[in-house]
Amino acid sequence: MADSADPLLRVTGATVVLGGRTALEKADLSVDAGELVGLIGPNGAGKTTLLRAVLGLVPLAAGAVTVEGGTGRRAGRLIGYVPQRHEFAWDFPIDIAGAVLTGRTRQMGWLRRPGAADREAVQQALELTGLTDLRRRPIGELSGGQRQRVLVARALAAGPRILLLDEPFTGVDVPTQELLNELFGRLAAEGRALLMTTHDLAAAARTCHRVALINRTVVAEGGPDLLADSDQMLRAFGLDRAIGAVA
């Protein structure tokens, strides 16, 4: 943030209207290389919408998303997406290595088979996520934590500089949480920018370098200790108005 250079990812005044409802209004956020930023907020606060806006999956009614100061298709190639686990067809007949390889579909290009660079990228992604030994296992036979790692590996296979993670800690066991924690820390340390949404305040406080509280817009951002600031938290979760109404 204090850096004079462009941050790796910058969202300015992002406004998204979905079906006539303003899901996101003038949201500002930036993530630097080497940073893991947590996006915290109640259900329906626009966490996933913000990620989808960054990915270009929903149109911006106003505002801009820049990656390394640029926009458009080239910028999109620098972003990897790790969706929520239920977005993925786990009943498809494919093994882990095959699923991870689909992350490189765009890089491979039409009518091309995977080359040496693709196999190398898949192997690295599997190693980073601790899936090398399971590479031939069908994806239908994985635990929740293993599935989460497959999604991370698939995103990493494309070699992104920015990783967007939607609720990566939801419903995974403690060993996987620790593994992901350690992995995200390492990915950030290697110079990537990570932005993740989460409900899990404890995990966010443990993992994130910075957190942004979101409720239709970015209400506050700061260090993880922000999560201990009850006024800010009440505001983010829309409870200040509820309390005001009662009083």
Partner 1 sequence: MIEFLTDPWQLPFMQRAFAVAAVIGLVCGVIGVYVVLRGMAFIGDAVAHSAFPGVALAYAFEGNLLLGGAAAGITTAVLIAFVSQNRRLKEDTVIGVFFAFAFGLGIVLVSTRDSWTTDLSSFLFGQVLAVSAADVWTVAAIGAVLVLMVLAIGKELVAVSLDRETARAAGLPVFRLDLALYVVVTTTIVMSLEAVGNILVLALLITPAATARMLTERLWAMTLLASLIGCTGSVAGLYVSYAYDLAAGGSVVVVLTGLFVLTWCLAPRHGLLAKLLQRPDPSALASAGR
List interacting residues with partner 1 (CB under 8 A): 19, 52, 55-57, 73, 76-77, 79, 81, 83, 87-95, 98-99, 102-103, 105-106, 108, 110-111, 138, 140-143, 154-155, 158
d(CA 188, CA 98): 26
In terms of CB distance, is 150 or 204 closer to partner 1? 150
Write down the least CB distance from residue 53 to partner 1, Å.
11
Q: What angle do the packed helices 144-157 and 116-128 form, to 10 degrees?
A: 140
Q: In what order do the strands lie in the sheet with 36-40?
A: 79-82, 162-166, 193-198, 36-40, 210-214, 218-222
Q: Which residues contact 40 (CB under 8 A, 6 or more apart)?
A: 47, 197, 198, 201, 204, 211, 212, 213, 214, 227, 236
Question: Which is nearer to partner 1, 87 or 178 (by Cβ)?
Answer: 87
What's the CA gap between 98 and 216, in Å, rounded? Answer: 38
Nearer to partner 1 by C-beta: 158 or 188? 158
For the record, the structure tokens of 133 come out as: 């030994």
Residue type at position 69? G
Question: C-beta of 83: minimal distance to partner 1 in Å?
Answer: 6
Which CB atom, from 137 or from 209, has the smaller least distance to partner 1? 137
CB of 4 to partner 1, least distance (A): 30
Nearest-approach distance from CB 226 to partner 1, in angstroms: 29
Task: Point out which residues pair with 9 in neighbouring strands.
Answer: 31, 67
**Nearest residue to 27 (alpha-carbon basis) of 153, 158, 195, 148:** 195
Residue 98 Cβ vs partner 1, minimum distance, rounded to whole Å: 8
**Which CB atom, from 6 or from 95, has the smaller least distance to partner 1?**
95
Give the residue with the Cβ less far from partner 1, 50 or 99. Answer: 99
Which residue blocks in 82-173 are alpha helix, DSSP H?
96-101, 105-108, 116-128, 144-157
Min dist. Cβ of residue 55 to partner 1 (A):
4
